[in-house]
Amino acid sequence: MTTANIRFIGGGNMATSLIAGLIADGYAPHAIQVSDPSPERRQSLQASLGVRALASNAEALAEAETLVLCIKPQLAAAVCAELAPLLANHRPLIVSVMAGVPEQTIQRWLGAPLPIVRAMPNTPAMVQTGAIGLHASPEVDTEGRNRAETILRAVGLVRWVDEEAQIDAVTAISGSGPAYFFLFMEALEQAAIELGLDGETARLLTIQTALGAAKMAMESDAPPSRLREQVTSPGGTTERALAVFDEADLRALVERAARAARDRAVELSKTLSEAP
Protein backbone atom coordinates (compact mmCIF):
# COMPACT_ATOMS: atom_id res chain seq x y z
CA MET A 1 0.00 0.00 0.00
CA THR A 2 1.23 3.49 -0.76
CA THR A 3 0.16 6.93 0.27
CA ALA A 4 2.45 8.45 -2.39
CA ASN A 5 1.17 10.81 -4.99
CA ILE A 6 -1.52 12.89 -3.36
CA ARG A 7 -3.08 15.70 -5.35
CA PHE A 8 -5.30 18.40 -3.89
CA ILE A 9 -7.92 20.31 -5.87
CA GLY A 10 -8.37 23.65 -4.09
CA GLY A 11 -5.60 25.04 -1.90
CA GLY A 12 -7.51 27.03 0.75
CA ASN A 13 -7.74 26.70 4.53
CA MET A 14 -8.54 23.00 4.75
CA ALA A 15 -6.03 21.89 2.09
CA THR A 16 -3.33 24.01 3.75
CA SER A 17 -4.08 22.42 7.14
CA LEU A 18 -3.97 18.90 5.69
CA ILE A 19 -0.80 19.49 3.67
CA ALA A 20 0.98 21.15 6.61
CA GLY A 21 0.03 18.19 8.82
CA LEU A 22 1.21 15.64 6.25
CA ILE A 23 4.54 17.43 5.87
CA ALA A 24 4.95 17.65 9.65
CA ASP A 25 4.35 13.89 9.70
CA GLY A 26 7.32 13.40 7.37
CA TYR A 27 5.59 13.43 4.01
CA ALA A 28 7.90 14.83 1.28
CA PRO A 29 6.65 18.24 0.02
CA HIS A 30 7.70 17.38 -3.54
CA ALA A 31 5.32 14.40 -3.53
CA ILE A 32 2.34 16.69 -2.98
CA GLN A 33 0.75 18.89 -5.63
CA VAL A 34 -2.18 21.23 -5.33
CA SER A 35 -4.19 23.17 -7.89
CA ASP A 36 -5.83 26.52 -7.23
CA PRO A 37 -6.87 29.31 -9.62
CA SER A 38 -5.67 32.02 -7.23
CA PRO A 39 -2.07 33.14 -7.95
CA GLU A 40 -1.80 34.45 -4.38
CA ARG A 41 -2.85 31.07 -2.94
CA ARG A 42 -0.39 29.24 -5.20
CA GLN A 43 2.42 31.59 -4.21
CA SER A 44 1.59 31.19 -0.53
CA LEU A 45 1.39 27.37 -0.72
CA GLN A 46 4.72 27.15 -2.52
CA ALA A 47 6.45 29.61 -0.20
CA SER A 48 5.10 28.30 3.11
CA LEU A 49 4.88 24.57 2.43
CA GLY A 50 7.27 23.95 -0.47
CA VAL A 51 4.67 22.03 -2.48
CA ARG A 52 4.14 22.39 -6.22
CA ALA A 53 1.09 24.56 -6.84
CA LEU A 54 -0.61 24.40 -10.24
CA ALA A 55 -3.15 26.60 -11.98
CA SER A 56 -4.68 23.63 -13.78
CA ASN A 57 -6.93 21.06 -12.08
CA ALA A 58 -6.42 18.75 -15.08
CA GLU A 59 -2.67 18.81 -14.51
CA ALA A 60 -3.15 18.01 -10.85
CA LEU A 61 -5.38 15.06 -11.74
CA ALA A 62 -3.09 13.68 -14.46
CA GLU A 63 -1.03 11.24 -12.36
CA ALA A 64 -3.03 11.31 -9.16
CA GLU A 65 -3.37 8.09 -7.17
CA THR A 66 -5.35 9.91 -4.52
CA LEU A 67 -7.26 13.06 -5.41
CA VAL A 68 -8.45 15.19 -2.49
CA LEU A 69 -11.34 17.54 -3.30
CA CYS A 70 -10.87 20.65 -1.11
CA ILE A 71 -13.11 23.13 -2.91
CA LYS A 72 -16.26 24.82 -1.62
CA PRO A 73 -19.41 22.67 -2.03
CA GLN A 74 -21.00 25.36 -4.22
CA LEU A 75 -18.15 25.02 -6.76
CA ALA A 76 -18.01 21.26 -6.75
CA ALA A 77 -20.38 20.60 -9.67
CA ALA A 78 -18.38 22.83 -12.03
CA VAL A 79 -15.01 21.43 -10.93
CA CYS A 80 -16.23 17.81 -11.20
CA ALA A 81 -17.63 18.53 -14.69
CA GLU A 82 -14.18 19.76 -15.68
CA LEU A 83 -12.53 16.60 -14.28
CA ALA A 84 -15.12 14.08 -15.57
CA PRO A 85 -13.76 13.59 -19.13
CA LEU A 86 -10.28 12.99 -17.73
CA LEU A 87 -11.51 10.22 -15.46
CA ALA A 88 -12.65 7.87 -18.23
CA ASN A 89 -9.34 5.95 -18.27
CA HIS A 90 -7.89 6.98 -14.96
CA ARG A 91 -9.53 6.05 -11.66
CA PRO A 92 -7.82 7.57 -8.65
CA LEU A 93 -9.23 7.20 -5.16
CA ILE A 94 -11.29 10.34 -4.56
CA VAL A 95 -11.25 11.78 -1.06
CA SER A 96 -13.79 14.56 -0.60
CA VAL A 97 -13.59 16.83 2.44
CA MET A 98 -16.56 18.91 1.26
CA ALA A 99 -19.30 19.47 3.82
CA GLY A 100 -22.76 18.41 2.68
CA VAL A 101 -21.85 16.86 -0.68
CA PRO A 102 -23.08 13.23 -0.89
CA GLU A 103 -20.95 10.48 -2.43
CA GLN A 104 -23.57 9.70 -5.08
CA THR A 105 -23.77 13.35 -6.07
CA ILE A 106 -20.00 13.49 -6.59
CA GLN A 107 -20.18 10.26 -8.63
CA ARG A 108 -22.98 11.71 -10.75
CA TRP A 109 -20.98 14.88 -11.43
CA LEU A 110 -17.86 12.84 -12.23
CA GLY A 111 -19.91 10.69 -14.60
CA ALA A 112 -18.85 7.34 -13.08
CA PRO A 113 -19.26 5.36 -9.85
CA LEU A 114 -15.70 6.08 -8.77
CA PRO A 115 -14.51 5.04 -5.33
CA ILE A 116 -15.16 7.96 -2.97
CA VAL A 117 -14.10 8.38 0.63
CA ARG A 118 -15.85 11.22 2.38
CA ALA A 119 -13.58 12.70 5.00
CA MET A 120 -14.59 15.36 7.48
CA PRO A 121 -11.37 16.76 8.96
CA ASN A 122 -10.86 19.96 10.89
CA THR A 123 -8.23 22.70 10.81
CA PRO A 124 -6.22 21.37 13.82
CA ALA A 125 -5.01 18.80 11.25
CA MET A 126 -2.42 21.52 10.65
CA VAL A 127 -0.80 20.68 13.99
CA GLN A 128 -1.50 16.94 13.60
CA THR A 129 -4.28 17.12 16.18
CA GLY A 130 -7.17 16.88 13.75
CA ALA A 131 -10.37 14.95 14.45
CA ILE A 132 -11.52 13.21 11.31
CA GLY A 133 -14.64 11.25 10.39
CA LEU A 134 -14.50 8.91 7.38
CA HIS A 135 -17.09 7.08 5.29
CA ALA A 136 -16.42 5.02 2.16
CA SER A 137 -18.72 4.49 -0.82
CA PRO A 138 -19.34 0.81 -1.71
CA GLU A 139 -16.84 1.10 -4.59
CA VAL A 140 -13.90 1.64 -2.22
CA ASP A 141 -11.90 -1.55 -1.68
CA THR A 142 -9.82 -2.45 1.37
CA GLU A 143 -6.68 -0.93 -0.14
CA GLY A 144 -8.56 2.32 -0.76
CA ARG A 145 -9.93 2.42 2.79
CA ASN A 146 -6.46 1.74 4.17
CA ARG A 147 -4.89 4.40 1.98
CA ALA A 148 -7.43 7.07 2.99
CA GLU A 149 -7.06 6.12 6.63
CA THR A 150 -3.25 6.24 6.46
CA ILE A 151 -3.32 9.71 4.90
CA LEU A 152 -5.80 11.12 7.42
CA ARG A 153 -4.18 9.39 10.41
CA ALA A 154 -1.04 11.40 9.64
CA VAL A 155 -2.93 14.53 10.68
CA GLY A 156 -5.05 13.35 13.60
CA LEU A 157 -7.51 10.94 15.14
CA VAL A 158 -9.65 9.00 12.67
CA ARG A 159 -13.09 7.45 13.24
CA TRP A 160 -15.04 5.58 10.55
CA VAL A 161 -18.82 6.01 10.57
CA ASP A 162 -21.22 3.34 9.28
CA GLU A 163 -23.80 5.62 7.65
CA GLU A 164 -22.96 8.42 5.26
CA ALA A 165 -25.54 10.65 7.00
CA GLN A 166 -23.41 10.49 10.15
CA ILE A 167 -20.77 12.58 8.33
CA ASP A 168 -23.23 15.49 8.72
CA ALA A 169 -23.10 14.97 12.50
CA VAL A 170 -19.29 14.78 12.38
CA THR A 171 -19.32 18.05 10.43
CA ALA A 172 -21.39 19.71 13.16
CA ILE A 173 -19.25 18.40 16.02
CA SER A 174 -15.60 18.20 14.98
CA GLY A 175 -15.59 19.80 11.50
CA SER A 176 -17.04 23.08 12.75
CA GLY A 177 -16.07 22.38 16.37
CA PRO A 178 -12.75 24.24 16.48
CA ALA A 179 -14.70 27.45 15.82
CA TYR A 180 -16.85 26.81 18.92
CA PHE A 181 -13.81 26.36 21.13
CA PHE A 182 -12.07 29.38 19.59
CA LEU A 183 -15.21 31.44 20.30
CA PHE A 184 -15.16 30.30 23.93
CA MET A 185 -11.47 31.21 24.14
CA GLU A 186 -12.15 34.66 22.68
CA ALA A 187 -14.89 35.20 25.27
CA LEU A 188 -12.79 33.99 28.21
CA GLU A 189 -9.81 36.10 27.11
CA GLN A 190 -12.07 39.15 26.85
CA ALA A 191 -13.50 38.44 30.30
CA ALA A 192 -9.96 38.18 31.69
CA ILE A 193 -9.15 41.63 30.33
CA GLU A 194 -12.40 43.03 31.76
CA LEU A 195 -11.35 41.59 35.13
CA GLY A 196 -8.06 43.50 34.97
CA LEU A 197 -5.48 41.16 33.48
CA ASP A 198 -3.16 42.45 30.76
CA GLY A 199 -3.76 41.19 27.21
CA GLU A 200 -0.80 38.80 27.01
CA THR A 201 -1.54 37.26 30.40
CA ALA A 202 -5.23 36.91 29.47
CA ARG A 203 -4.34 35.22 26.19
CA LEU A 204 -1.78 32.80 27.59
CA LEU A 205 -3.83 31.76 30.63
CA THR A 206 -6.88 31.17 28.43
CA ILE A 207 -5.07 29.06 25.84
CA GLN A 208 -3.09 27.03 28.39
CA THR A 209 -6.30 26.33 30.34
CA ALA A 210 -8.03 25.06 27.19
CA LEU A 211 -5.01 22.90 26.35
CA GLY A 212 -4.76 21.55 29.90
CA ALA A 213 -8.46 20.72 30.07
CA ALA A 214 -8.36 18.95 26.68
CA LYS A 215 -5.21 17.01 27.63
CA MET A 216 -6.73 15.93 30.95
CA ALA A 217 -9.98 14.90 29.30
CA MET A 218 -8.04 12.87 26.72
CA GLU A 219 -5.67 11.21 29.18
CA SER A 220 -7.94 10.63 32.18
CA ASP A 221 -10.20 7.62 32.67
CA ALA A 222 -12.76 9.94 34.26
CA PRO A 223 -15.45 11.56 32.08
CA PRO A 224 -15.45 15.37 31.71
CA SER A 225 -18.33 15.61 34.21
CA ARG A 226 -16.11 14.08 36.92
CA LEU A 227 -13.18 16.32 35.98
CA ARG A 228 -15.54 19.32 36.21
CA GLU A 229 -16.68 18.23 39.66
CA GLN A 230 -13.05 18.04 40.81
CA VAL A 231 -12.65 21.75 40.00
CA THR A 232 -15.92 22.74 41.64
CA SER A 233 -15.46 23.21 45.38
CA PRO A 234 -18.79 23.35 47.25
CA GLY A 235 -19.51 26.99 48.06
CA GLY A 236 -16.51 28.08 45.98
CA THR A 237 -15.85 30.18 42.90
CA THR A 238 -16.41 27.66 40.08
CA GLU A 239 -19.85 26.81 41.41
CA ARG A 240 -20.89 30.46 41.03
CA ALA A 241 -19.62 30.61 37.45
CA LEU A 242 -21.27 27.33 36.46
CA ALA A 243 -24.57 28.56 37.92
CA VAL A 244 -24.45 31.44 35.44
CA PHE A 245 -23.93 28.99 32.55
CA ASP A 246 -26.83 26.88 33.87
CA GLU A 247 -29.10 29.92 34.10
CA ALA A 248 -28.46 30.52 30.40
CA ASP A 249 -29.00 26.79 29.70
CA LEU A 250 -25.63 26.40 28.03
CA ARG A 251 -26.21 22.70 27.27
CA ALA A 252 -29.41 23.40 25.35
CA LEU A 253 -27.68 26.25 23.53
CA VAL A 254 -24.80 23.98 22.48
CA GLU A 255 -27.23 21.33 21.26
CA ARG A 256 -29.16 23.94 19.26
CA ALA A 257 -25.93 25.19 17.69
CA ALA A 258 -24.79 21.67 16.75
CA ARG A 259 -28.24 20.89 15.29
CA ALA A 260 -28.12 24.09 13.25
CA ALA A 261 -24.74 23.07 11.77
CA ARG A 262 -25.97 19.51 11.09
CA ASP A 263 -29.18 20.84 9.49
CA ARG A 264 -27.15 23.15 7.25
CA ALA A 265 -25.10 20.14 6.06
CA VAL A 266 -28.33 18.25 5.30
CA GLU A 267 -29.73 21.31 3.51
CA LEU A 268 -26.57 21.57 1.39
CA SER A 269 -26.78 17.83 0.56
CA LYS A 270 -30.41 18.19 -0.58
CA THR A 271 -29.79 21.32 -2.64
CA LEU A 272 -26.68 19.87 -4.28
CA SER A 273 -28.14 16.43 -4.96
CA GLU A 274 -31.13 18.04 -6.67
CA ALA A 275 -28.91 20.38 -8.74
CA PRO A 276 -28.13 19.33 -12.33
Ligand X SMILES: NC(=O)C1=CN([C@@H]2O[C@H](COP(=O)(O)OP(=O)(O)OC[C@H]3O[C@@H](n4cnc5c(N)ncnc54)[C@H](O)[C@@H]3O)[C@@H](O)[C@H]2O)C=CC1
Ligand Y SMILES: O=C(O)[C@@H]1CCC=N1
d(CA 58, CA 63): 10
Residue 68 interaction partner, one of ligand X, ligand Y, none, beta carbon < 5-8 Å per kind = none
Question: How near is the Cβ of 268 to ligand Y at its closest, in Å?
Answer: 8
13 is in an annotated binding site: yes
d(CA 25, CA 151): 10
d(CA 23, CA 26): 5
132 burial via Cβ count (<10 Å: 0-12, 13-18, 19+): buried
Minimal CB distance residue for ligand X: 12
Residue 36 interaction partner, one of ligand Y, ligand X, none, beta carbon < 5-8 Å per kind = ligand X
Question: How near is the Cβ of 8 to ligand Y at its closest, in Å?
Answer: 16
Q: What amino acid occupies position 146? A: N
Question: How near is the Cβ of 164 to ligand Y at its closest, in Å?
Answer: 16
Residue 156 interaction partner, one of ligand Y, ligand X, none, beta carbon < 5-8 Å per kind = none
d(CA 124, CA 132): 10
- Tell me which residues touch ligand Y (CB under 6 A): 99, 171, 175-176
Give one word for 28, left, alpha or beta, with left for phi > 0 and alpha for psi -120 to 50. Answer: beta
172 burial via Cβ count (<10 Å: 0-12, 13-18, 19+): buried
- Tell me which residues touch ligand X (CB under 6 A): 9-15, 35-38, 41, 57, 70-73, 75, 79, 97-99, 120-123, 175
d(CA 199, CA 178): 22
Minimal CB distance residue for ligand Y: 175
Question: How near is the Cβ of 129 to ligand X at its closest, in Å?
Answer: 13
Q: Which is nearer to ligand X, 102 or 192 (CB)?
A: 102
Q: Which is nearer to ligand Y, 176 or 206 (CB)?
A: 176
Residue 38 interaction partner, one of ligand X, ligand Y, none, beta carbon < 5-8 Å per kind = ligand X
10 is in an annotated binding site: yes
Identify the three-state secondary structure at position 269.
helix
6 is in an annotated binding site: no
Residues near 54 by Cβ (< 8 Å), separated by ≥ 6? 33, 34, 35, 36, 42, 60
Question: How near is the Cβ of 25 to ligand Y at its closest, in Å?
Answer: 22
Helix (H) or strand (E) holding 95: strand 93-96
Question: How near is the Cβ of 158 to ligand X at its closest, in Å?
Answer: 14
d(CA 267, CA 262): 9
133 is in an annotated binding site: no
Q: Which is nearer to ligand Y, 156 or 175 (CB)?
A: 175
Which residues are annotated binding-site positions for NADPH?
A: 57
Which residues are annotated binding-site positions?
A: 9-14, 57
Which residues are annotated binding-site positions for NADP(+)?
A: 9-14
